[in-house]
Every structure is written in structure tokens, then in C-alpha cells.
Structure 1
Amino acid sequence: MRAVARRFAVSVSVVSRAWRRYQETGQYIRRSGGGRRRATTQQRDRRSTTRALQNDLQRATNVHVATETVRNRLHEGGMRTRRPQMGVVLTAQHRAGRLAFAREHQDWQLRHWHPVLFTDESRFTLSTCDRRDRVWRSRGERSADCNIIQHDRFDIMVWGGISLGGRTALHVLARGSLTAIRPYAGAVGPGFLLMQDNARPNVAGVCQQFLQDKGIDAMDWPARSPDLNPIELFWDIMSRSIHQRHVAPQTVQELGDALVQVWEEIPQETIRHLIRSMPRHCREVIQARGGHTHY
């Protein structure tokens, strides 16, 4: 027993108890209830700090634990602090509309998406958001509702459209962008289908009347569904390109010029790759029952 204790760097009494238990039961299993009972569990508020969780526990149970203990308990549950995903608020009606759209279009092939022009406005800022907010989450929970934080701040707004066959020019939005659709629709010809979101300017009567007068058909697009629009990923690519430049834009004019340049430089194959992912977008919405996806 002394030799075993030296080998494993434990006391002789530990070896003695283990040997005696083995002789009595034929196996060695740690008895349940050994050691001091834990004062904490893995239950958590996703956005609470370890300090806040420590204080909440003390108020509720009058038990004091170290912040390190709180952190260790969260880690045992597979939780790590991560940057929260940004997302829009989804009501039950929004989820139902998103789910219906995804089910209708999940089996569309490339030939179905070829005449579609995906359009959108996007906001860009001169400064990058440091995104210091954190949430506690497990792997695979990035798009859970409890891990979404909204963000709404910008310096400039632009409009553009992409399709499998090309793209429109990028327009800095001082006024409406409907006139930019007309030449593109004419180039595509019969079968042209406009995708635009349900922002107020797009659903306004004057906008709908303009499309009807010009014979432009628009898709029935579900509200609050930026993750279904592949151009949203294109905006992300542009944003990274702008902020990774050796000399970042310093004025709104420089930012607008840089955005136009980046818009024209991104290869068309990148756009085709994004639109080819539409079936995956739809499948993820169906899997989330109309909720948020990772896109």
C-alpha cells in the first residue's frame, strides 16, 4: 500500500480505503454524496455576468460562492462567452410567414432563381462596432432567440440588386431607387421577378403602383427575413472589405466611393455562390420553425 501510495502521490489511507471497498464489493466506485454538497448548478441567465450570477445566488440562498466557481459551473455545462448574433424581433406571425415561404421555395432549382433580382438597402458606418456585449451559450446556439441583440446605427445607406446573371449599379440613397430597376428588368426580359423586402417605402402605394405600371412582378416576401436574402451576405463581404483596407475611409464621401468600388470588384461567382445557397436558407428556416437561422 505504501508503494502504491507513492506511485500515485496519495496518502496510504486513500489506498487502504479503496482496497477495502474492492474486497467488500468486488469493484471500486465513488460513493454518492461524498464531499461537500454543491451550492451551485448549471442553470444560468444568458446575459448575466459571473458577478451578477454570484450576487443573485447569494440573495436567493444566502450562500456565498466565488465568481470562479460560477464560471467553472458554466464551463462544465459547455458554456462559454460569445458575441451575440444580431437579429430582428420575430413575432408568431412573422415566424409563420417565414415558414410558409421556406416550404414553398425549398425545392426551387437554379432555373427558378435565375430571373430573380434580389434587392436591398444597407447601412454602413465609418467606425466599426466593438461589440463588447457577450452572452453565455453552448455550441450550436448562436441563433437562439435569447442570444440575439439588435443594432441600428449608420452613416450612409446604399441600394443594390444581385442575380445569377449580374448585378445593378450600387446607388447611394438620396432618393428612391425604383428607376434603377427598370433597365435591369428590361435586360432580363420576360420572367423577371423582383425580390424586395417589406420596408415601408417598398410597400407604399406609390411603389406598388409604379411596379404595376411597368409590368414588374414582385415576389411575395415574408416580413423580417433578412437571413433569407442572399444579398445580406454580400453586404457582409463588402463591410469586411471596407474595414480591412490599409487606409480606412475618413469621410462619408470616401465611404460611399469605397463602397461603389468594392461592389464592382467582387467577382460574379461570389454572387452565384450566395444565390445557390437559397435551398439551405429555406431548410434552416424550416428546421427553426420559422425562427432565426445562422445566416
Structure 2
Amino acid sequence: MTKPISSETQNALKVLLQKKTPYSQIIKLLPNISKSTIGNYNKKFFGGAQHTNVGRVSKISAKAQRYIASSIRNGRMDGPKGAVSFLASQFIPMTTSGVKKMLRKKGFKAIRKAHRHYTVTAWRKWVLSDETRVNMWGFDSVSFYWSDKPGTMQPHQTTTKVQNNGGGVMFWGCITADGPGYGTVILEGTINSEEYVKILDSSSLLDTLDYYGKTASDIRFQQDKASPHKSDVTRDWFDQNGFSEDKILGWSAQSPDLHPIEHVWYQLKRRLDNYMTKPRTKEELANRISVEWDKITQKECL
């Protein structure tokens, strides 16, 4: 017999099962539910076919494992500890010992710190950039509310849904090992080559380097492989401003979940979602983005 649970808990459980969330994570998110109860409701919702919990499957995808290995090799991630922090930002709970086991399978060995100081120095030479869309009505996530009357919902316990999240803006930003760089909000349209060069030239990248006492020759600059970033207009700008082409590195635009700046976007959007009221205009949203971006700390960029 299936243990009865409240309708809102059932809804949350159904969403998590649809996302194929491991039972162990579901129990952490919904601590009053046992593994057997989850299995029973899985059968009730999907006939048991939606979610399989058989065998010991790696929590870390092959793509994430490759990214972690690459980041540790080039110094952008500080060994197992850095990998645990990265995985936590992707909502993948993993212990340090679990990460070490994964790294050993990848051929890594622990080496005394005296022999690897260059990796920290290398990371401090990076400036990582990306664009993200910020919606007027916040970003998608599973929502919960507190209630002492299961099965009932009051007006303040519901969330209005707006088509396309009510519109939004684009935000370009960059981070360094010393902290966040300058950012730019684009109120209308997308970022083409001309707009991208304007962002780099007028305020964001050059001012970031100046603020942290760096020059174009000091750093390695990372951007995704979107077409505006590879255009002749953009390449000419980098060349004219002293950036060496071999120090401008790309990251696949099709793998945003593995971009190092992604966890910073998450922190920014969580803070924007904490406002008691939704922004009424794009200009108001842009102002909030500016305020919250200035609060990003050096620790959150590492």
C-alpha cells in the first residue's frame, strides 16, 4: 500500500522523477519520504518505467568528468576540492573521496603541492567570459511553499506563469581569479559582432583588465564559440588591442552547463529571484542586475 503524502509533495516528487533525479537526491530534497514510498509513487505515476534505480550509476556524466579532468590539468580547478565545489554548483552532491576515486580512474595521482604551484598562477592569468539571458519573471526552478493544510493552496502560495517569462535582457560578464569583472546589459536584441566589439571596447573587458592591473599580454581570454566571437570584426578588435590569437580560447556554446562561469550566473539569478517584487521594466531589471553583480565575491569566482 502506498503511503499517503500531501498533494504538493506529490507534485514535487513527480517533477523530480520526470527529471530522473536519483532516489538519494530526492530523499535529501524531500526528507520525509522513504525510498520505498518514492518507488511506489513512481509506479503510480509512470508504471515504474520513468525512473530506474537499479545498479550503481556514476553521478558524474562523462562530459562533466572530461571537463573536471581538463580543468585540473590546466590549473582552473584546484584538485578534488575544486571539483567538489563545481559539482555542488551543478546540484551534484559528491564527497572528496568520491571525486578522488573518479580522478584515479582517469589516471590522476596526488602530487605534493610543492610541485604544482604553477597551476594556481596559470589560473590567475585567465579571464572567463559568457553571456546569459535574465528573464523578467525569474528563472525556471522547482518551487516549494510551507503549509499546515496539505492539499490546499492560498493565492500567495501560487506563482503566476507568463509566456516567455515576460521577456528579458541579455547580460555579458566576465570573471577572474581576483573577482568579477565589469558587465554589460543589452536591453533589446541579441549580441552580434558589432555589439560584442562595443561591449569589449567601451566598458567591460578593457576596464576589467585595468581594474585588476592586467594587460592584454598578461592574460588568457576565454569566450564561447558563438559566431560573433569568431568574426573578422571581432578578431580585428582583439588584434588592434594587443590580444594574442593563441591566448584567446573557445568553449563550446553547446555545453553551457560546464562553463566555469555558469555557477556565477546561478548565484546572480538566485539573488534576483529573492526580490519581493518583479521588475516592472527592463530598465529596472538592468539596475537590479548591476546591483547584484557588484555583490559577487572573489570566492564565488574561484
Q: TM-score, normalised by structure 2?
A: 0.49
Map 1:15-34 onto structure 2 (within 5 A).
none
Please point out which of 165, 181, 189 is paired with 2:205: 181
- Counterpart AA for 2:275: R
Q: Partner of 1:221: helix, strand, or coil? A: strand
Map 1:49-88 onto structure 2 (within 5 A).
71=46, 73-74=48-49, 77-78=52-53
Which runs of 5 or more structure 1 residues have no equivalent in the other structure? 1-45, 49-66, 80-94, 133-151, 273-295
Q: Which is bigger in relative contact order (C-alpha 8 A, separation at least 6)?
A: 1
Please point out which of 223, 232, 238 is paired with 1:211: 238
Tell me, yes or no, if the aligned pair for 2:251 and 2:259 is still in contact at 8 Å: no
- Counterpart AA for 1:162: I
User: What does residue 9 of structure 2 align with?
Assistant: none
- Counterpart AA for 2:48: R
- Counterpart AA for 2:72: Q
User: What does residue 159 of structure 1 align with?
Assistant: 172
Map 1:9-158 onto structure 2 (within 5 A).
71=46, 73-74=48-49, 77-78=52-53, 104-107=70-73, 108=75, 109-128=119-138, 154-158=167-171
Please point out which of 220, 244, 251 is paired with 2:249: 220
User: What does residue 268 of structure 1 align with?
Assistant: 298
Question: What is the CA-CA distance between 1:120 and the residue it aligns to?
Answer: 0.9
User: What does residue 5 of structure 2 align with?
Assistant: none
User: What does residue 195 of structure 1 align with?
Assistant: 222
Which runs of 5 or more structure 2 residues have no equivalent in the other structure? 1-17, 21-41, 55-62, 76-118, 143-163, 188-194
Q: Distance in 1 between matches of 2:255 and 2:48?
A: 36
Tell me, yes or no, if the aligned pair for 2:182 and 2:205 is still in contact at 8 Å: no
Tell me, yes or no, if the aligned pair for 2:127 and 2:221 is still in contact at 8 Å: yes
Alignment of 1:253 onto 2:283 = yes
- Counterpart AA for 1:188: K
Percentage of pairs with the same residue: 20
Paired residues, number: 177
Question: What is the CA-CA distance between 1:71 and the residue it aligns to?
Answer: 4.2
Q: Distance in 1 between matches of 2:170 and 2:294?
A: 17
User: What does residue 277 of structure 1 align with?
Assistant: none
Tell me, yes or no, if the aligned pair for 1:160 and 1:170 is still in contact at 8 Å: yes
Tell me, yes or no, if the aligned pair for 1:242 and 1:248 is still in contact at 8 Å: no
Deviations 1:22-48 (A, max 9, x none): xxxxxxxxxxxxxxxxxxxxxxxx789
Question: What is the CA-CA distance between 1:268 and the residue it aligns to?
Answer: 2.1
Q: Distance in 2 between matches of 1:236 and 1:222?
A: 18
- Counterpart AA for 1:253: E
Q: Distance in 2 between matches of 1:201 and 1:194?
A: 15
Tell me, yes or no, if the aligned pair for 1:185 and 1:216 is still in contact at 8 Å: no
Question: What is the CA-CA distance between 1:74 and the residue it aligns to?
Answer: 4.4
Q: Partner of 2:278: helix, strand, or coil? A: coil
Tell me, yes or no, if the aligned pair for 2:179 and 2:299 is still in contact at 8 Å: no
User: What does residue 238 of structure 1 align with?
Assistant: 268
Q: Distance in 2 between matches of 1:245 and 1:193?
A: 36
Q: TM-score, normalised by structure 1?
A: 0.50
Question: What is the CA-CA distance between 1:239 and the residue it aligns to?
Answer: 0.7
Check 1:124–1:102 CA distance in 2 against 1; reply closer, same or farther (3 A cut).
same
Tell me, yes or no, if the aligned pair for 2:173 and 2:184 is still in contact at 8 Å: yes
User: What does residue 24 of structure 2 align with?
Assistant: none
User: What does residue 22 of structure 1 align with?
Assistant: none
Alpha carbon RMSD of aligned pairs, Å? 3.8
- Counterpart AA for 2:176: S
